[in-house]
Structure 1
């Protein structure tokens, strides 16, 4: 195993302080310890060094003229979310520094500090990624994924490795965890990154349109088909196609998808010829597909075709160390849109509440809570009571429009079949639909008329 001291010379550190004597002293200490050091007299100079110097960490004073250390940290977090930042502070500003650590700053050093304390803090920060922070170019594939969680880092390393192959990939996770974001990152790390990445939510497309959306159709294939429509498989040729919520795909269409994956060709609706395709398929679901197979709702052969490699994306509650980073990211993102410049961050109690919340809706719910908190806050720091009120609203527990529509349709059809004792002709007449269309509705919701007969 390589000793950490052997690679110190490859570690780059930017030191930022408007006190020239302290800046020079810190540079000497760190250089003597074997690090490559660049010094900056203010935050703006340090920001200019991020791209050219590509540091592995930044050490900054908190109180500086112009842009202070915390504002510098916010700017760094936007450009390099995984770059460790250490804040130096005088005794009187310790509460500010503690608040900064709640929002993602790695650590803080209270002046005056000993050389050993400085070096230990630096080494701890650099060990966040034992192999070292990679160059900006190497990190671009995952630049939109904000994390310092060890679970996520392991997952991302695995994702980068499997990105090099063309095997079909299944991402399994709860709703709201960022499955599409991970799929995009895998595409960016793959040899196909210069080609298109296309995503489709299988649960949001009506069954009657799904085949046309994925495989395309020719002119005149059905009423309203006034021109040829290129399907997503053909449009994604050479690139990556992301099939989200694959577990909600209608059973009747699953066999058509399986055939397309096996033969690597699709036949547009209404066409007599097939089109060869070269597409890497990444699918995702929040459902237990093995259970769906046993229940007859998902084809086993399609499952094994899609699940050559499986990645398990952890829920937000399993990566709580990322909550301060994500909360600050959503706050900064909202401030950039304008209108909330008076908000500087979160009170310590508010951040502790965010970190300890259960988050059944995961990152999507966190974003919603942050947006509500921003809208209701009149103080420079978002308070615990405001966050608590936003958490109680629980908007993420409401079903989506499509889920609510499907549930209504399923309940309505079940009531019709109960009322007619499973007689499809009578049920279709009450619903004012023809038998063929009514049977399609029953198949979509996996309802069998015989089950409603006495």
Structure 2
């Protein structure tokens, strides 16, 4: 239950009495003598109730109500009035005030009105939270595409981790989308309005690594012209994405560990430490602990980076996502040229589902763009023997079900007629492939 209350009244005796009543009843109380001070210190999405006198020097209670309503129409405001102000207070309730209390009022009367207002505030904030979660989920579904169970689980993990102040290690093969996932962890979290800095550790020459990460002062080394802000300092307040972290030189691993532990860094050639607030997201192909046992990576840094781990499945392990991804990339490429992507023949779809995709999503995107541009189908090899005919048929069946559900907007009867399936068989197949009708319903 929420218990935050702000009391605004220019009379010290009223403020003192109300604070005593509310504090004894378990409420957290803030007091202001002026409405201007209340507005200056009011946090966004304040999780409580405002109690304000109507007549005050400067901004009065009605003006305060108007200002508060402009920012948050659902914020409950209880007005305290003298006898002559009752008609004015009734009009204020028509304009959005939650309640008014005529002075002198009893503690019981105040507490009753306050508790009802807080209950309403709690319902409003919970409703907002649910709407925000649904909006984030919808946005994430259009960013991390796929209907496989693995992708659905990954999206849930990303939403859970995005708001947590923990470092994350992403494991996955080349082209599996590690940077896109890192970007989602940043964009869907509280650091979204701060910098997102991506750095490929394998692409930086070892001699330049320290200056690139930590920056340098003028004259720190030969050729150091002027002061330079490093990537870590530039990302202050935001997120640093270190791709192929296993390629980082051991000497720089020790310095990165110190930054993570102390939230401070030093530029090359400087003696002064600079405080930084960073979230580190690292990506790797190999197991960092195995790299540590082989002497190629610091074990203490591996543990610091791997507070939470996300594993990205290769495309060959989620073949049911291939048609959706292919269609997305082909449509995007065609749209850039102002044309419509040509249809995908069934034989080519079967070839897509049979290919092993060693380059993962990146390779698939290239194939889709070639198809959209009319450059012909890529030369794809079928999957090795480990990909059984049964697995390929399962993936194709899932795609057919998904296409029918999308076409009929989740209307089961239409899907049954299109695929010539009885209701029970369709239900069993949808359950086996993790398909839910509601995901395909078009909501206005």
Normalised TM-score (structure 2): 0.54
Deviations 1:159-192 (A, max 9, x none): 2112221111100111100001001111122111
Give the 3-state SS of the residue equivalent to 1:183 in structure 2: helix
Q: Residues 218 and 165 of structure 1: is their aligned pair in 2 closer, same or farther, counting only changes over 3 Å? A: same
Aligned-pair CA distance for 1:132: 11
Aligned-pair CA distance for 1:135: 4.1
Aligned-pair CA distance for 1:375: 4.3
Residue-pair matches, total: 254
Q: Distance in 1 between matches of 2:346 and 2:289?
A: 43
Aligned-pair CA distance for 1:158: 1.4
Provide the residue aligned with 1:260 in structure 2: 259
Q: Distance in 1 between matches of 2:367 and 2:300?
A: 41
1:55-204 to structure 2, matched below 5 A, reads 135-136=134-135, 138-141=137-140, 143-204=142-203
Q: Residues 320 and 237 of structure 1: is their aligned pair in 2 closer, same or farther, counting only changes over 3 Å? A: same
Q: Distance in 2 between matches of 1:169 and 1:296?
A: 22
Give the 3-state SS of the residue equivalent to 2:240 in structure 1: strand
Is the Cα contact below 8 Å between 1:233 and 1:241 reproduced in 2? yes
Larger radius of gyration: 2
Provide the residue aligned with 1:37 in structure 2: none
Is the Cα contact below 8 Å between 2:331 and 2:340 reproduced in 1? no
Aligned-pair CA distance for 1:294: 1.5
Aligned-pair CA distance for 1:137: 5.3
Deviations 1:118-171 (A, max 9, x none): xxxxxxxxxxxxx99974455335532211121111111112112221111100
Q: CA RMSD in A?
A: 2.4
1:296-445 to structure 2, matched below 5 A, reads 296-338=295-337, 341=339, 343-377=341-375, 386-387=376-377, 389-391=378-380
1:222 corresponds to 2:224: no
Give the 3-state SS of the residue equivalent to 1:278 in structure 2: coil
Aligned-pair CA distance for 1:373: 3.5
Q: Distance in 2 between matches of 1:247 and 1:137?
A: 32
Q: Distance in 1 between matches of 2:260 and 2:340?
A: 53
Question: 138-147 or 235-244, which moves further after superposition?
Answer: 138-147
Give the 3-state SS of the residue equivalent to 2:310 in structure 1: strand
Is the Cα contact below 8 Å between 2:244 and 2:283 reproduced in 1? yes
Give the 3-state SS of the residue equivalent to 2:198 in structure 1: strand
Give the 3-state SS of the residue equivalent to 1:225 in structure 2: coil
Aligned-pair CA distance for 1:277: 0.4
Is the Cα contact below 8 Å between 1:316 and 1:359 reproduced in 2? yes
Q: Residues 195 and 290 of structure 1: is their aligned pair in 2 closer, same or farther, counting only changes over 3 Å? A: same
Q: Distance in 2 between matches of 1:142 and 1:176?
A: 19
Q: Distance in 2 between matches of 1:327 and 1:135?
A: 26
Structure 1: tracts of 5 or more residues without a match = 1-130, 378-385, 394-454
Give the 3-state SS of the residue equivalent to 1:273 in structure 2: coil
Q: Residues 331 and 132 of structure 1: is their aligned pair in 2 closer, same or farther, counting only changes over 3 Å? A: farther
Aligned-pair CA distance for 1:390: 2.7
Aligned-pair CA distance for 1:320: 1.3
Is the Cα contact below 8 Å between 2:140 and 2:155 reproduced in 1? no
Q: Distance in 2 between matches of 1:373 and 1:139?
A: 28
Aligned-pair CA distance for 1:359: 0.8
Give the 3-state SS of the residue equivalent to 1:287 in structure 2: coil
Aligned-pair CA distance for 1:254: 1.0
Is the Cα contact below 8 Å between 2:331 and 2:341 reproduced in 1? no
Is the Cα contact below 8 Å between 2:331 and 2:372 reproduced in 1? no
Deviations 1:167-220 (A, max 9, x none): 111001111000010011111221111211111101111111111111111111
Q: Residues 375 and 137 of structure 1: is their aligned pair in 2 closer, same or farther, counting only changes over 3 Å? A: closer
Provide the residue aligned with 2:205 in structure 1: 206
Q: Distance in 2 between matches of 1:367 and 1:343?
A: 14
Q: Residues 134 and 350 of structure 1: is their aligned pair in 2 closer, same or farther, counting only changes over 3 Å? A: farther
Aligned-pair CA distance for 1:249: 0.9
Aligned-pair CA distance for 1:223: 2.2
Q: Distance in 1 between matches of 2:343 and 2:147?
A: 19
Is the Cα contact below 8 Å between 1:218 and 1:229 reproduced in 2? yes
1:221-300 to structure 2, matched below 5 A, reads 221-300=220-299
Structure 2: tracts of 5 or more residues without a match = 1-129, 383-444
